[in-house]
Amino acid sequence: MTDTEELSPETRVRIAESVYAREFGEEIVLLEFGRGEYFGLDPLGAEVWRGLERGAALGEIAHEIVARWDVAWDRALRDIQDLVSQMRDERLIEVEGRS
């Protein structure tokens, strides 16, 4: 099983306490204080981040993306899973129910 297969439409995450987010127009810049590293999110990534901050499940965020962007739900979910997997690897978020 791959990392993204572990992330279902029902998956919810918590933003790591060491992360600070700042919006710049439609984009978001993240600062991970522990390592002092910055990460940039384009408008689509920023929309995903806002959903994660609200506590929305990945499937809910995919529905929001589909309503706003020209993309199929399964493709949106896969892309969200990929992004969330990368964020988890960078310790920007924590998947709920996992240590």
What's the confidence (pLDDT) of residue 1?
36
* E strands present in 1-99: 13-15, 19-24, 27-32, 37-41, 93-95
Q: How far apart are CA 32 and CA 46, in angstroms?
A: 16
Amino acid occupying residue 33 = F
3-class SS letters over 16-32: CCCEEEEEECCEEEEEE
- Whether pTM > 0.85 for this model: the answer is yes
Percent of the chain having pLDDT more than 70?
92
Q: How far apart are CA 92 and CA 20, in angstroms?
A: 9
**pLDDT tens-digit map of 29-73:** 999 998 999 999 999 999 999 999 999 999 999 999 999 999 999
Amino acid occupying residue 86 = Q
